[in-house]
Amino acid sequence: MAFLEIKDLHVEVAGKEILKGCTLSIEEGEVHAIMGPNGSGKSTLANVIAGNPVYKVTKGSLLFRGQNMLEMSPDERARAGVFMAFQSPVELPGVGIAQFLKTALNEKLKSMGKPELDAVQFIKRLKTRAQALNISDAMLKRSVNEGFSGGEKKKMETFQMAFLEPDFCILDEMDAGLDIDALKTVSDGINVMREKTRSFLLITHFQRLLNYIEPDYIHIMIDGQIVHSGDKLLAKSLEEKGYDEYR
Amino acid sequence: MNTDNILLIKKGDVITQRHISDQYMTFEPNASEPLECFLLVFKGDTQIQVNLKEEGATCLIQALYLIDKDHKANIDIKISHLGRDTKSSQIIKGIATDQSKVSFFGNIYIDNNAQKSDGYQNHRALLLSDDACVQAVPALEIYADDVKCSHGSATGPLDENALFYLLSRGISSKSAKKILLESFVSGMIPTEYNSIIQQWIEDHV
Ligand SMILES: Nc1ncnc2c1ncn2[C@@H]1O[C@H](COP(=O)(O)OP(=O)(O)O)[C@@H](O)[C@H]1O
Ligand SMILES: [Mg+2]
């Protein structure tokens, strides 16, 4: 049984078919990257895995650890271990970061039949994960993403992931808008999470991110399908030759 | 649950509560004692008229309506800027669910003697069901030329993207809606009355 098994997935948004038979399989502990031109359907795939109701699956299957994800609500998928770092996260004015993460973690623990964290344990976990990503106490006091710069939003997504410790992490364009220092901080935050039991799907259209986070496999998505897969060397050849030979 | 409408008047640090139902209220604050009032509406007609006559008089009105079942609510706020340099600010927020119907009339009148006055009004409503309806009718009547006056209104369902974001973190749909509604109403009514509002939200998600 594969960790994540996507077969012949067809997905529509606003009446238009975006994914046109996407097939992808990821094993436990692996890091996969999907590269592809703008508009090829990479974010659509990420959103479908996370369960965004805007995207309608018309055909195909999506199994996570053998469970049929298509029958699960987005929150059930998250509690089962799926996490997506959004390409463009929303701002939630008036929703404090601590309250937000406490609710998320406690609901997950409750669903696993584990006790909730008490206030001391919670603060400790929040602070240690924040420090590792250079997130200040002042920033933790703010509302989720409200008024954050592009780079701060990416950091906040990575921080949430580090805090919630999901088993399957989807990172949609984590490198977009990050300067080199921030890219390094975010990449370090992701790399320390690499474990035998945790898998990653990195979405990017630049090779740059893959210099910091080395994937096991790279897939090329063109027009809603994975048209080619290879190892990490593929990124270099894409950088030089572009996507034309795969179109 | 007690669903009487509540009117709170704040003077300095002191808040006094007046229970109201279907009534017309009129206020005439002077410059040394600004009117600061909070209104929590569950149903019925509420009319507030504020006359800002004295030079420099100001008022702040925050109204929150929470309407369910087949209840109707009419909220009618009229601010008359009659004296120079008068200032008004109205923040109105509401949540309507089930088959409820809400009308909000917000009128800012600025007399020709009320130069340098400033009138502000903002209305935002969330609809939690397809059958709920909110009609907002803002009206500005301005007869002086050297004034500031602005208003805005927005009505719609909960933001789908915000909801999905919360769900994607493992937060259940009920908790996610609660979080969004609580952030929407936060700061509208003095915190002593939070529990009434939280209970209403809890009962309607
Ligand atoms: N919510 C949406 N509503 C309408 N069209 C969408 C939506 N999301 C994606 N699309 C369309 O689907 C196509 C693929 O988009 P996307 O998956 O974001 O591509 P990528 O992430 O590879 O750049 C684009 O043509 C885009 O306009
Ligand atoms: Mg994208």
State the complex-level ipTM.
0.96
Tokens of B110: 């600025």
Once rounded to an integer, what is the mean pLDDT over residues B155-171?
97
Task: Report the pLDDT value the prediction gives residue A79, as an integer from 0 to 100.
Answer: 97
Q: Quick count: other Cβ atoms within 10 Å of Cβ A34? A: 26
Helix, strand, or coil (residue B50): strand
User: Between A84, A93, A103, which is nearest B171 by CB?
Assistant: A103
Q: Does position B84 have pLDDT exceeding 90, yes or no?
A: yes
Let me know: does B37 contact B60? Beta carbons within 8 Å: yes
CB contact at 8 A, A126 and A165:
no
Coil, helix or strand at residue B194: helix
- Cα-trace Rg, chain A: 18
A84 touches chain B (CB under 8 A): yes
Cα(A18) to ligand 1 centroid in Å equals 7
Q: Binning pLDDT at 50, 70 and 90, where does residue A240 land?
A: confident
CA gap A155, A107 in Å, rounded: 23
Domains of chain A in start order, with CATH, are: 4-246 (3.40.50.300)
Q: Which of A177-181, A214-218, B140-144 is the least confident region? A: A177-181
Which of ligand 1's atoms lies nearest the C-alpha of A45?
Answer: 17
Computed over every residue of chain A, the mean pLDDT equals: 95
Beta-carbon pairs below 8 A across chains A and B: 77
Answer whether A40 contacts ligand 1 (Cβ < 6 A): yes
| Contact present, B81 and B108 (Cβ < 8 Å) | yes
Q: Could you tell me if B181 lies within 8 Å of chain A, comparing CB atoms?
A: no
**Facing B175 at nearest CB: one of A101, A103, A164:** A103
Q: Which chain B residues contact residue A78 at CB under 8 A?
A: 167-171
A104 touches chain B (CB under 8 A): yes
The pLDDT value given to residue B115: 97
The pLDDT tens digits for B48-75 are 999 999 999 999 999 999 999 999 999 9
How far does residue B82's CA lie from ligand 1's centre (Å)? 54
Please give the pLDDT value at position A189.
Answer: 92
Mutate to test the interface with B, among A44, A52, A54, A75 (most CBs of B within 10 A): A75
Which ligand ends up closest to the CA of A53? 1
The answer to whether A50 contacts B172, with C-beta atoms less than 8 Å apart, is no
Q: A11-25, A41-55, B24-38, B105-119 — which is least confidently predicted?
A: B24-38
Q: How does strand A143-144 pair with strand A92-96?
A: antiparallel
pTM, entire model: 0.93
Q: Is the pLDDT of residue B23 over 80?
A: no
CA distances for A149 relative to A83, A92, A94, B48, angstroms:
22, 14, 17, 42
Under the phi-then-psi rule, with left for phi > 0, alpha for psi from -120 to 50, and beta for the rest, what region is B159? beta
